[in-house]
Amino acid sequence: MSVFRRKPRAIAPVAETKLQWSDDAEQILENGRNRLVVVGAVFALAFTLVGARLIDLAVLQGHDANQTALNDEQRPSAERADILDRNGVVLATNLITASLFAEPRRVLDAADAARKIVLALPELNEQEVEKKLSGGRAFIWLKRHLTPKQQHDVNALGVPGVGFRDDRKRVYPHGNLVAHVLGYTGIDNEGQAGIELQYDEQLSTVTQKASAATNGDPLRLSVDVRVQFALQQELSRAVEEFSALGAAGIVLDAVTGEVLAMVSLPDFDPNQARTASSNAMFNRASLGVYEMGSTFKAFTTAMALDAGTVKIGGGYDATKPLRVARFTIRDDHPKKRWLSVPEIFIYSSNIGAAKMAVDVGAERQKEFLGRLGLLQRAALELPEVGRPISPSRWGEISTMTVAFGHGIAVSPVQLTSAMAAMVNGGIRIDPTLMAKQPMDTPQGTRVIKTRTSSIMKRLMRLNVEEGTGSKAKAAGYLVGGKTGTAEKAVAGSYQRKALLSSFIGAFPMNDPRYVVLAVIDEPKGTKKSFGYAGGGWTAAPVFGRVVSRIGPLMGVAPVDEESKSVRNAMFIRVKAGG
């Protein structure tokens, strides 16, 4: 049997087919790779362009915008040191706010943007905003110091090309209370008036690099806000009661020269200084100069006693008016008799004061008032300090009128400082608004003898007990002082109904520490004052109420005014041989 075997079938070459497939895949992969490279390159270019633009916006042009702002003085407000009262109460500080700026080059539609912004900030003018946004500048402020709500409202608009920057706004927590002392700053936190201007460099902490005195520490004033409030409130009450034009007042430490309170009415809110009137911003206490009337009789009396031209037991004939050339000097409430020195003081005799001054002489009078600081500006740390007005030719008539406070004009702060020397033992100390340290020794100049000062304290006390200052009494406190009523010069002549009424005094008179001045500008008599508008009726009561309020605050213990020891300490003979 034969066996048949089948011839093997030829198989197609697999390798050839495989090679053909491999070439196609390679081509596909190559094409895909090329496409990916192109796409990647496009994306890389796009990201490069976007990145370059971001760098341009954030760094280069942003720097240009900032530089433009600096050149245009549109930088955010600088940090500024706080101002405190003597007890550490904050009087002025900074509040961080947001300020709205625009970059006009990046604003897409100026008209539309202006319309939206003004909807959120209606106090802005739409045409002005559009004009700013249409300009070619890189940076411009639209509104400084926005409130949180204003910032929220503008931010919600989503307007391209506008943004916010942190800013600092000067704020005064007590509003009007210490306005004329503090002054105020401008929109860039630069001092414009008051202490803010006087100490602008020290308060501006951005410039504080060189000295330890300018290291951002708060500036502490001598003012006590409690005393300031009492004085302001009582003066405001008097202005309203007597329908006056305004008022001024000062409380001064007679030993250290520190000003504890300084008030000028009308006043203003330094937080809204741009809306204040020029009358409200005028500091009557330091910048205004006035003829202070009979308060000057205290200086005339002290001058004559110190010079020895008259003794406390002496006096002058005040029977008739005094005629000099075309002038006639008369007393408002004439006694028409010889008056002792104490009587001249407590009855406020113009005739007696004039004769007293003539005996001293013009030269010595001028020299004495100069030593009291009444012939030159007060050395006070404020830019608003008035220059006194004194006679150009100091002859006999000037000597007489100056003796009772006419023909010479001084500021209230000058008067207060000079009166302190009358009661503190005879030492004149320059007034200051800067708080002194307890260890500081006041530097002063002797202007009258200690004995003369002792006599003046007794005379001032006597004036409250028996004279024109009776309404200045403050229950429980030993006070003394002198009234002043001066006719104001209007259009070159004195007006009998336009008065500047004042009272200046001290307490406690057995050991004077504080001097208080109240000045009322053109008060009108009332039914309660029987139509009178002089210092005894209008300003003296202010003094009494202020002393009653601040005495306990300052730690002054009440005394029994009728006690034998007090009466002996304050005793002075009114008529010695008169």
Q: Which residues are catalytic?
A: 294
Q: In terms of Cα–Cα distance, which of 304, 305, 318 is closest to 347?
A: 318
Q: Please tell me the distance from the alpha carbon of residue 142 to that of residue 560, in angstroms, as a whole number.
A: 65
**In angstroms, rounded to a whole number, what is the distance separating the alpha carbons of residues 39 and 33?**
10
DSSP secondary-structure letter at 364?
A: H
HSE, side-chain direction, 13 A CA sphere, residue 93: 10
Name the residue with tokens 């029994």. 560
Buried b / exposed e across 457-469, counting CB within 10 Å, b at 16+? bbbbbbbbbebbb
Token output for 90: 């904050």
Q: Which residues pair with 191 in a beta bridge?
A: 185
Q: Which residues in 11-64 belong to E strands, given as ranges?
A: none
Tokens describing residue 466: 């028996």
- CA distances to 77, 109, 476 from 152, rounded to whole Å, are 21, 21, 58
**Checking phi first, is residue 194 left (phi over 0); if not, alpha (psi -120 to 50) or beta?**
left
Cβ neighbours of residue 36 closer than 8 Å, sequence gap 6 or more = none
Helix (H, G, I), strand (E, B) or coil at 356: helix
The answer to whether residues 146 and 194 touch, using CB atoms and an 8 Å cutoff, is: no
Helix ranges restricted to H, 374-496:
396-403, 412-423, 450-466
Sort strands 259-265 and 480-490 into parallel, antiparallel or unpaired.
unpaired
DSSP 409: B
Decide if 435 contacts 181 (C-beta within 8 A): no
446 Cβ partners below 8 Å, 6+ apart? Answer: 426, 427, 428
